[in-house]
């Protein structure tokens, strides 16, 4: 099997894997999936993801289809580097292999400009026309005309707050703080038309390539607020050369007044996803983000 055959007959890939006709090397695939590098007969490689078979954790319907749709939607902008989807089957996703490289200031600056271009490509509505996932959790992509603030509270904060309360990850104190953020969501300001988002842009979803570019992987793509991607990028210490990425982005497309005060608000979504998925280890981070978001709202109110 070579790349041309695989593109023409993607449905045959599981059979070739089962019968060990392809060299398979395990690689990191994230928290949800098993992943491997597949070397084809022509020497070309692809990155393949599968869902580990467990009776207590069945493959969610549409999981790989959602990721493939998001990758294609981001790639069609011709801005940020996004791997080509080679195979998209219900049980398997295969992407063109990206050879890893080392972080560089030049790649960071280029990525900042490209990310601004991807966001500027826009979206017709908030959400997306496919069912969404973020990590292993469902993400409500029901399309919505907005306003963004109400949509963000209803579709991106409340669902993961509810899951985090149900699994015991949050105490009453953190829950009350997040509920106050939700109640005051209209006070934050900064509403903009929908941008085209990666949607899960923490630093681990940047792949620094040997071609001196940053590639985007593992999206939870949808139409949303561009500040969400940028705020997520700052989580967990940020990527190498983070300041250069942000400076290049702002030079290409300046951010609205008050954006720094809104960073904790936008980070709160992904932190709640973490408490919903991983439990109380991220409890304090949720509390800190909610308190910081409320302080930012208070400052904005005084400034007005």
| DSSP one-letter string for 120-170 | HH--SSBB-SS-EEETTEEE----B---HHHHHIIIIIHHHHHHHHHTT-S
Average pLDDT score over residue span 215-240: 98
Residues near 241 by beta carbon (within 8 Å), at least 6 away in sequence: 103, 104, 105, 107, 108, 109
The yes-or-no verdict on residue 304 having pLDDT over 50 is no
Alpha helices in 56-95 (DSSP H): 63-75
pLDDT tens track for 113-160: 999 999 999 999 999 999 999 999 999 999 999 999 999 999 999 999
State the Cα torsion 205-206-207-209 to the nearest 10°: 170
pTM of the model: 0.94
> Higher-confidence residue: 32 or 221?
221
- Asked if 152 and 185 count as a contact pair (C-beta separation under 8 A), the reply is yes
Alpha helices in 76-125 (DSSP H): 105-121
Burial category of 70 from C-beta neighbours within 10 Å (exposed 0-12, middle 13-18, buried 19 and up): buried
Average pLDDT score over residue span 185-189: 94
> Higher-confidence residue: 117 or 1?
117
Confidence class of residue 265 from pLDDT cuts 50, 70 and 90?
Answer: very high
Percent of the chain scored above 90 by pLDDT?
88
User: Which CATH class for the 105-303 domain?
Assistant: alpha beta
Same fold across 3-96 and 105-303? no
Question: Where does 3-96 sit in CATH, by number?
Answer: 3.30.200.20
- Asked if 282 and 274 count as a contact pair (C-beta separation under 8 A), the reply is yes
The yes-or-no verdict on residue 204 having pLDDT over 60 is yes
Query: What are the distances in angstroms from CA 199 to CA 4, 222, 224, 227?
Result: 32, 7, 8, 10
Average pLDDT score over residue span 205-226: 98
Confidence class of residue 302 from pLDDT cuts 50, 70 and 90?
Answer: very low
Instruction: Determine the pLDDT at residue 82.
Output: 98
pLDDT tens track for 28-74: 876 789 999 999 999 999 999 999 887 678 999 999 999 999 999 99
Domain boundaries, the chain: 3-96, 105-303
> Higher-confidence residue: 55 or 109?
109
Report the C-alpha gap between 174 and 281 in whole angstroms: 13
């Amino acid at each position: 099997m070579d790349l041309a055959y695989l593109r023409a007959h993607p449905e045959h890939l599981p059979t070739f894997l089962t019968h060990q006709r392809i060299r398979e090397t395990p690689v990191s695939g994230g928290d949800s999936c098993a992943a491997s590098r597949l070397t084809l007969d022509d020497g070309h490689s692809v990155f393949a993801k599968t869902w580990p078979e467990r009776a207590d954790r069945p493959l969610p319907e549409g999981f790989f289809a959602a990721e493939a749709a998001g990758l294609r939607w981001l790639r069609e902008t011709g801005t940020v580097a996004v791997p080509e989807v080679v195979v998209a089957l219900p049980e398997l996703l295969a992407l063109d292999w990206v050879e890893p490289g080392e972080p560089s200031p030049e790649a960071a600056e280029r990525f900042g400009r490209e990310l601004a271009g991807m966001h500027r490509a826009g979206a017709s509505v908030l959400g997306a026309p496919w069912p969404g996932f973020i990590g292993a959790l469902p993400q409500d992509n029901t399309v919505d005309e907005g306003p963004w603030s109400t949509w963000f509270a209803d579709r991106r904060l409340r669902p993961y707050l509810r899951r985090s309360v149900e699994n015991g990850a949050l105490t009453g104190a953190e829950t009350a703080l997040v509920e106050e953020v939700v109640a005051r969501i209209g006070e934050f300001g900064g509403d903009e038309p929908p941008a085209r988002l990666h949607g899960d842009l923490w630093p681990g979803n940047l792949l620094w390539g040997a071609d001196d570019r940053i590639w985007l992987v593992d999206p939870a793509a949808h139409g949303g607020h561009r500040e969400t991607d940028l705020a997520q990028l700052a989580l967990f210490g940020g990527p190498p050369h983070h300041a250069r990425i942000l400076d290049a982005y702002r030079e290409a497309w300046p951010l609205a007044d008050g954006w720094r005060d809104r960073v904790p608000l936008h980070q709160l979504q992904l932190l709640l996803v973490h408490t919903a998925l991983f439990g109380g280890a991220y409890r304090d981070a949720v509390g800190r983000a909610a308190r910081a978001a409320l302080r930012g709202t208070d400052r904005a109110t005084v400034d007005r």
